[in-house]
Amino acid sequence: MGAVIQISYFLAAVLFILGLKRMSSPVTARGGIVWAGVGMLVATFVTFFWHGLDNYTLMIAAIAIGSIAAWVSGKRVAMTAMPQMIALYNGMGGGAAAAIAAVELVRGADGHSQAVMGLAVAGGLIGTVSFSGSLIAFAKLQGLIKRSIVFPMQQPFNLAVLAAAAVIGGMLPFQEAGGTLVFVFFALVLAFGVLMTLPIGGADMPVVISLYNALTGLAVGFEGFVLNNAAMIIAGTVVGAAGSLLTQLMAKAMNRSIANVLFGAFGHAPQAAATDSEGGTLKPIDPDDAGIMMAYSSKVVVVPGYGMAVAQAQHKIWELAELLEERGVRVKFAIHPVAGRMPGHMNVLLAEAGVPYDKIYDLDEINPEFPTADVALVIGANDVVNPVARTNPESPIYGMPILNVDQSKNVLVIKRGQGKGFSGIENALFGKDNTRMLYGDAQDMVGKLIQAVKRL
Amino acid sequence: MIEGFTALYIFMLAAFTGYEVIARVPVILHTPLMSGSNFVHGIVLVGAMVALGHADSNLERWIGFFGVLLASMNAVGGYVVTERMLEMFKSSKGDR
């Protein structure tokens, strides 16, 4: 049976890698997750026949409870809440890796070398941080924790907690078995994960979630070495590396460094620069006129932001786009890398409304097209279209790549009120001569635009 | 047994594989791909099963039970949400 298990694990590892590879292109992505799923089923099934296992009742009960709970919650969650759900499931994985480490440490060396026990400790540390950190990330994005908690000497204090955990962790491989030291170790690391995540603002959370995803992968890989389990080593390490790269890509898309996200609090700077007013008054426009303007354009670029998702306006937008296309208007969707709550999140929301992915364009693809666009329709986006990021070196968002909406012939902005964006920075776009404001709820307003186009 | 340098080689090769596999991924797939890789580390389930299966004391059983519970949530939840997201990605040329 041992050989069958090893062959199955090998097969699972191959399926995971091929599955991830397929998931990196929109054409084959759907098949990718199915391949990886088959790998997981095979690996889990053969593990029941692992030599000398016991406690089957507990095992099956845990799998049944966990699977049903996750299945139901995963099917029910709204697409807008996807980022925090990923954080939650990821935290579970980190917790599981930590639990494996805990079992090993409670039992003691038991034939393992000290190096292997050291790996168990390292995996336990990383997995636990990912566990408690992800739970805080979930709570923040879900709105259970409303604000960033910052106190004086926070970073040195956090560092001290981590150092204490590392020292105790370093002692664990050299002691007999179990004991209170194991509990102190896990308590300290749990606290560190919470402390480290609390001061990080909501806008930076996607990078943090991605980082914890990579950490869980690494922890799983380490525990794989301890258990001598090749499937865990390969899958865990592959995810650890892929997740690190993904974290870097996300941070780059937001024009932030990972260190800056983890140790610098964003919400502190804006007050200083909020005073600059780029002049210009806000000019409202009637929805009927706006509808006519779009209907007689040859090219319209729609720029959706998180405000659109909050108003659940994505279905209406696609209806409007289809109407315009029937009239011969070319409609394109422009997505900023950090639109929504996570890079790619907005694409998911538009896909949910039925917008085909080949009508959706990246920042680099769409920016050269704005000067030839007759109308740019901005819906619930703010900072990602703010031209001060190009023009004003004083601004906290200076240098962030933005969508150059202001270069199109006309700009329509759907906005709920006259408030500021997520970062609290004044938006110079709204005062431009070619900008007109449509004040109202995104869904209502798009509905009015649809009516206006239909009446023509 | 996977020991010493063999382990290090496996670790190194797997890390490069992970890096290469997603090196050219478009931004539109960042969220689903993160979710997909989140599912893949759900393989921790097999380790948690072995840990629980070898547990002798009640304390070990409790921790092991907790581990299997969390791991199966990681695997199943990760699969369900990834599949739901990717299901929606359609091309305008395809069969809509």
pLDDT tens track, chain B, 96 positions: 566 788 889 999 999 999 988 887 877 788 888 999 999 999 999 999 999 999 989 999 999 999 999 999 999 999 999 999 888 877 766 544
By three-state DSSP, how is residue A25 classified? coil
| Residue pairs spanning A and B at CB distance below 8 A | 391
By the 8 A CB rule, do A24 and B22 touch? yes
Q: How many domains does chain B have?
A: 1
The interface residues of chain A toward chain B in range 22-61, judged by CB-CB distance below 8 A, are 23-27, 29-30, 32-34, 36-37, 40, 43-44, 47-48, 50, 52-56, 58-59, 61
What's the DSSP call for residue A447? H
B73 within a domain of the structure (yes/no): yes
Lowest mean pLDDT among A11-25, A62-76, A144-158, A280-294: A144-158
Written as six digits, the tokens of A394 are: 């004083």
> Any bridge partners for residue A411, and if so which?
A376, A435
Q: Which sign, positive or negative, has the C-alpha torsion A319, A323, A326, A328? A: negative
pTM for the structure as a whole: 0.83
Residue B19 forms part of a structural domain:
no
Q: Residue A149: is its pLDDT beyond 50?
A: yes
- Enumerate the residues of chain B whose CB falls inside 8 A of the CB of residue A32: 36, 86
Cβ–Cβ contact B41 with A under 8 A: yes
| Minimal C-alpha gap between A254 and chain B (Å) | 12
Q: For B85, how many CA atoms within 13 A lie in the half-sphere containing its CB?
A: 35
Nearest Cα neighbor of B20 from A216, A217, A244, A13 is A244
Q: How many angstroms separate the Cα of A148 from the Cα of each of A194, A202, A203, A264, A268?
A: 12, 8, 11, 12, 11
Instruction: Kindly state the DSSP code that residue A306 receives in the 8-state scheme.
Output: H
Whether the CB of A12 is below 8 Å from some CB of chain B: the reply is yes
Stretch A72-96: mean pLDDT? 93
**Interchain CB distance below 8 Å, A209 and B70:** no
Q: Is residue B74 domain-resident?
A: yes
Q: Is the pLDDT of residue A322 over 70?
A: yes
* Residue numbers of A between 196 and 235 with CB closer than 8 Å to B: 209-210, 213, 216-217, 220-221, 223-225, 227-235
CA distance A172 to A195: 23
Q: Is B3 a domain residue?
A: no
> Tens digits of per-residue pLDDT, A160-197?
999 999 999 988 888 776 678 899 999 999 999 999 99
**B18 contacts chain A (CB < 8 A):** yes
Range of weakest confidence among A186-190, A235-239, A359-363: A359-363
- Residues of chain B with C-beta less than 8 angstroms from the C-beta of A79: 84-85
Please name the residue ranges forming H helices in A264-326: 270-273, 287-295, 306-310, 314-326
Residues of A with catalytic function: 383
B78 part of a folded domain: yes
Q: Is B8 on the interface with A (CB under 8 A)?
A: no
Residue A392: the pLDDT is: 82
**Closest alpha carbon to A198 in A260, A155, A137:** A137
B27 vs A contacts (CB less than 8 Å): 249, 253, 335, 337, 343-344, 347, 362
Partner-chain contact A99 B15, CB within 8 Å? no
Structural tokens at position A17: 């890698």
In the prediction, which pLDDT does A397 show? 75
Distance CA A111, CA A127 (A): 23
Instruction: Name the pLDDT band for A209 (thresholds 50, 70, 90).
Output: very high
- The pLDDT of residue A423 is 60
Strands (E) across A321-446 are located at: 330-334, 360-361, 375-379, 410-415, 435-439
Across A226-245, average pLDDT: 93
Out of A154-158, A163-167, A210-214, least confident range: A154-158
**A77 phi and psi, to 5 degrees?**
-60, 140
Please state the separation of Cα A383 from the chain's center in Å: 18
Q: Is the pLDDT of residue A278 over 60?
A: no
What's the confidence (pLDDT) of residue A145? 83
Lowest mean per-residue pLDDT among A11-25, A133-147, A178-192, A380-394: A380-394
In a domain, B59, yes or no: yes
Residue in A420, A387, A382, A413 with CA at minimum distance from that of residue A401: A387
Contact A54, B57 (CB under 8 A): no
Q: Would you say residue B5 lies in a domain?
A: no
Q: Is residue B21 part of a domain?
A: no
- Tell me the residue range of the domain where B69 lies: 27-89
CB contact under 8 A, B33 and A246: yes
- Provide, as residue numbers in chain A, all residues whose Cβ is less than 8 Å from the Cβ of B59: 106, 178
Q: Residue A7: what pLDDT?
A: 93
All structural domains of chain A:
77-263 (no CATH), 287-454 (3.40.50.1220)
**Would you give the DSSP letter of residue A408?**
S
